[in-house]
Amino acid sequence: MTSAAARTPLAGRLDALVIDGRVDAGRAVLTPRGELVHGCAGTLAGTLAELPADIRRVEVDMTGVTFMDTAGLQFLELLDDYSRYHRTPVRAVRWNEQPRRILELAGLDPTDPLSSAVLAPRPAASSVVVLERAQQLQLLQEEVQQLRHAIASRPVIDQARGILMATHACTSDEAWTILREASQLSNTKLRTVAAAVTASTGTDPSPPPAELRGALRTAIARRRHDPPGRP
């Protein structure tokens, strides 16, 4: 079998999903690596389509999956559809901590979410439980968005820290404190502060706005234990 892969809109910053597989005596073992996010179901569909017709059992080893958002539930639905259509047992096991949290909030057994006990019909949940689960999933979705934003912001923040370290002979931790305090003093997002610092250097420098420039000077002066300079 060949590996299948899919890129996310944040390719290069998040880990693209890759699925390797092997077949041995009617048993297929799939080993996904990366993240179960948007597009993961399409990657899995391509892998399942390559499985031989005489497969009698499928095991999906999730050890290599480091991150999962609610789109990962589509991954499980596709495995379940394959199992039902081909009348073939499918197991998805060895989940890591963060994906397990998603499974638990979705009401699935993290040891094997495709087990017959989980897929069997169950009494309808009360409206309170349904509402609580929907709120929990919403919080998880917000947490995922915050994480993606942090990943996207990291390069410009690291660059700004390097500029401050070189310009003001400070440590990495001190540069981080300067950025954070300037953000608080000017009521400006940290990434915006970092972008302004990086824009102030280079071949075509652009100075930060006056308010942010003053906040940076105050934060730098505090690090030096000197009185704040004038903006």
Which pairs from 97-104 meet CB under 8 Å and 24+ separation? 98/66, 98/67, 98/68, 99/36, 99/62, 99/65, 99/67, 99/68, 99/72, 101/140, 102/68, 102/69, 102/70, 102/72, 102/73, 102/140
DSSP state of 204: S
pLDDT digits 0-9 by tens, 17-34: 899 999 988 899 999 999
Residue 55: the pLDDT is 92
- Please tell me the pTM assigned to this model: 0.49
Residues 148 and 110 in one domain: no
Residues 12 and 115 in one domain: yes
- Region 98-121: mean pLDDT is 72
Residue 113: the pLDDT is 87
CB 2 within 8 A of CB 20: no
Q: Which of 99, 119, 139 is the last residue before a domain boundary?
A: 119
Residues 136 and 195 in one domain: yes
Tell whether 158 is covered by a domain.
yes
Residues 89 and 27 in one domain: yes
Residues 109 and 146 in one domain: no
Residues 136 and 217 in one domain: yes
Question: What's the total number of domains in the chain?
Answer: 2
Tell whether 94 is covered by a domain.
yes
Residues 8 and 113 in one domain: yes
Tell whether 36 is covered by a domain.
yes
Residues 92 and 184 in one domain: no
In 64-201, which residue ranges form alpha helices assigned H by DSSP? 72-86, 97-105, 116-119, 127-168, 172-186, 190-199
Q: Which of 119, 148, 175 is the last residue before a domain boundary?
A: 119
- Nearest-Å Rg of the Cα atoms of the chain is 25
Residue 15 scores a pLDDT above 70:
no
Q: Which of 89, 119, 149 is the last residue before a domain boundary?
A: 119
Domain of 161? Answer: 128-223
Tell whether 26 is covered by a domain.
yes
Confidence bin at 92 (pLDDT 50/70/90):
very high
Residues 113 and 8 in one domain: yes
Residues 144 and 91 in one domain: no
Residues 32 and 98 in one domain: yes
CATH (domain of 24): 3.30.750.24
Tell whether 151 is covered by a domain.
yes
Residues 9 and 61 in one domain: yes
pLDDT digits 0-9 by tens, 72-89: 888 998 999 999 899 999
Residue 6: the pLDDT is 42
| Least confident stretch, 89-93, 107-111, 128-132, 217-221 | 128-132
Residue 131: the pLDDT is 63
Residue 127: the pLDDT is 54
Residue 130 scores a pLDDT above 60:
no
Phi first, then psi: give them for residue 104, nearest 5 degrees. Answer: -65, -40
pLDDT digits 0-9 by tens, 159-218: 888 888 888 888 888 988 999 899 899 988 888 888 888 888 766 677 888 888 888 989
